[in-house]
Amino acid sequence: MVRIEHKRALMVFRFGDKKFEWPIETRYWRNPILGIGLLALLPIVFSGRPDALSLIATANIYACIAIPLAWQMTGIGRLNFGPQAFVGIGGFIAALASVHFGWGPWATLPFAILGGLFFGFIFSPLTNIAKGLYFSLITLIIPLIFLEITYYFSIFKGETGLYGIAPLVNVSSIKAEYIITGYMALIMMVIFLFVVVKVFDSRIGLYSAAINDDEEVANNLGLNIKRWKIISFVITSTMVAVAGWFAAHYFGTFSGVTYLQLPFMLKILLMVMIGGRGDVYGAVYGAYFVVILEKALTVVGLAHYILFPLILLILLFALKEGIYGLYRMHRYREYYPTIRVRKR
Amino acid sequence: MDAIQSILVYTVVLGSLYLLIALGFSLICGVLGIFNLGYGATFLVAIYGMWMLLSTIGVNLWVAIIGVFILQFLFTLGIIYFPIVKRYMEKEELLLTSLLLVSLIVEETVNHFYPVTAGVDIPTAIFSHTLQLGSVSIPAQMLIVIIAAVLITAFFVYFLMKTRIGFKIRAISQQLEASRLLGVRVERVYALAMILSVVPPTICMLIIAPIWAIEPNMGHSLLQTAILVTILGGLGNLRGTVMASFIVGLIASSVAFLGNPRLVGMSILLVVFFVMIFKPQGIAKSETLW
């Protein structure tokens, strides 16, 4: 039985010997919990609208790419222009295993993770070899090479891509399937968010901030920056690969044309930038905002293809710290990452 | 023997084409020290600006050619340089993202008004026949590409090496602050460099439009080519860019004639990728413009 008590500025919820405290004053509310609670309501509210459910799931998948990228930008102190390469790695591993061997999503997941870890480790020395603009350029090239590989080798099915990938859940009701997968996407996003927030609150977050602000100073202070950059890159790349795995099983189709080209990278980058310039919560705001804006603009017809990037361009200039910056203006300002391609 | 002949001819042809595509991008990289990711839109403005003047407004060919250059200069200064590059030069993450967005907006605008299904017919062909060079046949129009590449490069070299404004451009590319202290009006030189940078791609597009597959999303691949050649050339060194263009041409023609034409794109990307890792300064160092 839950007992509710009023204790000074707190509401205390007691359940047996466990207790949960909630501040009464709104400025002390734990807004991430409220935000996630609101997002959790969305699939129920829109349970009769498959298009809205699909939109919510898509926003969560994008957030799952943008959240680790926000960590990566700080953790390696560089701007990755090719995160979609790891979406491709996770997605193609899932798609190939599912289409060619008939594996289900839970059988392909470990391989997507292993693929992310393996290729993350292979490419991780770049975080130490290439600096500033060179890193951005090299990472820009990697997905393009991958795209050429998918064109060349027939197992990737070129521009058509792989289709018939096993769905995430098998239930008879389509409505139930939409709701379940919607919640699965949300749970994945919340896990990613929780992990990255905890990392930023930990010692690793402090190391990341030090590396992002000044690598040389961090190194002189005794921080093994090479090791921490590699760790940040490998883990975040693997998380992005998992998002790719989810996308492949969620949409049932996966092609390099969709995920490996510049427009997809640009969309992810915009989510990070417009959301909150590399802030973790901002990445979630950015993902939802970009996905909903794109959908909302379809009411104007074909002109939405022009309006969509135009509005994002205006917002990019207008919101100096992104959408999340509007909220942060009234909140305590803890460490805020500075993204600079070429640090001076 | 035929293969070697083909490789040599196409190295020159493709090298000249790549040079025209990358020269402007490399100049911006060398002078302003930035990557103009909106460069892909330059090609679209050239082709579709020309098509708009010819088909929609209905002017004659020569007026359209002059008009497209004016349009290109207005686009470069009015949309790329003053509102974006000048204001956000020190914030590269914002600069690169916004330039990519501008390129996307131009692409979508072009796609809206002139969709790929509508077709484009630019009547700038000087030759319509093919040319037989030994066992190799190439469109005769490609000779114009080679001549244009030589002339424009020669002009750029002369301009940069022999004129007063060329000295200023080179000075800025080497020591920005020292140039500023010595009285060089940096912003003006930047604007001039931006104008100069659109000349080669505009001429290139006008020459190859009659024999090239034109579509609204062609800017991506051309931007990619410009980036790869510029990286290989040493990020802004024009001498390196000239060499890199012909090296990329050699790789493309060798892979196409000796291997598999489908591997051309991948092989160029791989070569540039490994160059960036093992010799990041490229063929020539970007410390100087030439």
pLDDT, tens only, A94-131? 999 999 999 999 999 999 999 999 999 999 998 888 87
Q: Residues B250-283: pLDDT tens digits?
A: 999 999 999 888 899 889 988 988 888 888 778 8
Domain positions in chain B: 2-116+140-278
ipTM for this prediction? 0.89
Question: Which residue type, as a one-letter code, is found at position B245?
Answer: S
Q: How far is CA A53 from the centre of its chain?
A: 18
Residues of chain B with Cβ-Cβ distance to A302 below 8 Å are: 112
Which residues, including other chains, have CB under 8 Å from residue B251's CB and lie 6 or more apart? B264, B267, B268, B271
DSSP symbol at A320: T
Count the Cβ atoms, other than its own, within 10 Å of residue B33: 17
Residue with tokens 């990041």: B280
Radius of gyration of chain B (CA): 19
With contacts defined as CB-CB under 8 Å, which chain A residues touch B100?
262, 266, 269
In angstroms, what separates the C-alpha of A66 from chain B's closest C-alpha?
15
A163, part of any domain = yes
The H or E element that residue A13 is part of is: strand A10-15
- DSSP code per residue over B22-33: HHHHHHHHHHT-
Q: How many CA atoms lie within 13 A of B203 on its CB side?
A: 24
Question: What mean pLDDT is reported for chain A?
Answer: 88
Q: Nearest Cα to A57, choosing from A251, A193, A270, A192? A: A251
Q: Which residue has the higher pLDDT, A340 or A33?
A: A33
Question: Which of B92, B105, B273 has its CB closest to that of A342?
Answer: B92
Is residue B10 within 8 Å of residue B252, measured between CB atoms?
A: yes
Give the angle A200-A201-A203 at the CA atoms, nearest 5°: 85
- Asked if B93 lies within 8 A of A273 by C-beta distance, the reply is yes
Spatial neighbors of B73 by CB under 8 A, at least 6 apart, are B195, B198
- The three-state secondary structure class of A68 is helix
CATH number at residue A50: 1.10.3470
**Res A190: pLDDT:** 95
pLDDT of amino acid B262 = 87
Q: What is the three-class DSSP state of B210? A: helix
In a domain, A226, yes or no: yes
CA distance B139 to chain A (A): 27
Report whether pLDDT(B153) > 50: yes
Phi/psi at B274 (5° precision): -75, -30
Chain A: which residues have CB within 8 Å of chain B?
A: 79, 81, 126, 129-130, 133-134, 136-138, 140-142, 144-145, 148-149, 151-152, 261-263, 266, 269-270, 273, 302-303, 305-306, 309-310, 312-313, 316-317, 339-342
Q: In A46-155, which ranges are continuous DSSP H helix?
A: 50-76, 84-101, 105-123, 126-129, 132-152
At residue B111, the 3 state secondary structure works out as helix
Using CA atoms, how far apart are residues A5 and A14, in angstroms rounded to an integer? Answer: 8
Cβ atoms of B47 and B198 closer than 8 Å: no
Question: Quick check: A59 and A120 in contact, CB under 8 A?
Answer: no
Residue A12 placed within a domain: no
Beta bridge partners of B130: B139
pLDDT for res A344: 45
Cα dihedral A211, A212, A213, A214 sign? positive
Inter-chain touch B266–A145, beta carbons under 8 Å: yes
B280 near A CB under 8 A:
yes
Query: Across the interface, which of A134, A261, A306 has its CB nearest the CB of B109?
Result: A306
CB atoms within 10 A of CB A199: 21
In a domain, A165, yes or no: yes
A-B C-beta contacts closer than 8 Å: 91
Asked if residues A66 and A278 have their Cβ atoms less than 8 Å apart, the reply is: no
**Cross-strand partners of A19:** A14
Tell me the per-residue pLDDT of A172-228, one tens digit each, with 9 for 90 and over.
888 888 899 999 999 999 999 999 999 988 998 889 888 888 888 989 988 899 999
Read off φ and ψ for residue B181, nearest 5 degrees. Answer: -65, -30
Tokens of A13: 């919820």
Structural contact between residues A124 and A234, judged by C-beta atoms closer than 8 angstroms: yes
Q: Mutate which of B94, B102, B227 to disrupt the A interface (most A C-beta within 10 Å)?
A: B94
Angle at A179 between CA A178 and CA A184, to 5 degrees: 95
DSSP A164-223: -PPPS---S-HHHHHHHHHHHHHHHHHHHHHHHHHHHHSHHHHHHHHHHH-HHHHHHTT-
d(CA A112, CA A117): 9
pLDDT mean across residues, chain B: 90
Give the range of the structural domain holding residue A82, as residue numbers without chain letter: 46-328
User: Are the beta carbons of A270 and B97 separated by less than 8 Å?
Assistant: yes
Cα–Cα dist A249/A185, whole Å: 11
CA–CA dist A106, A242 (Å, integer):
12
HSE, CB side, 13 Å, CA atoms: give it for residue A309.
Answer: 21
Q: Which two tokens stand for residue A178?
A: 């939409």
Give the tens place of pLDDT for each residue, B178-202.
888 988 899 999 999 999 999 999 9
pTM above 0.80, yes or no: yes
A130 and B277 within 8 Å at the Cβ level: the answer is yes
Write the DSSP symbol of residue A301. G
Position A339 scores a pLDDT of 64
pLDDT bin (cut points 50, 70, 90) of residue B236 is confident
CATH ID of B2-116+140-278, from 1.10.3210, 3.40.630, 3.40.50, 1.10.3470? 1.10.3470
Structural domain total, chain A: 1
Q: Look at B105 and A145 and tell me if their CB atoms are within 8 Å.
A: no
Q: Which amino acid is at B21?
A: I
DSSP B123: -
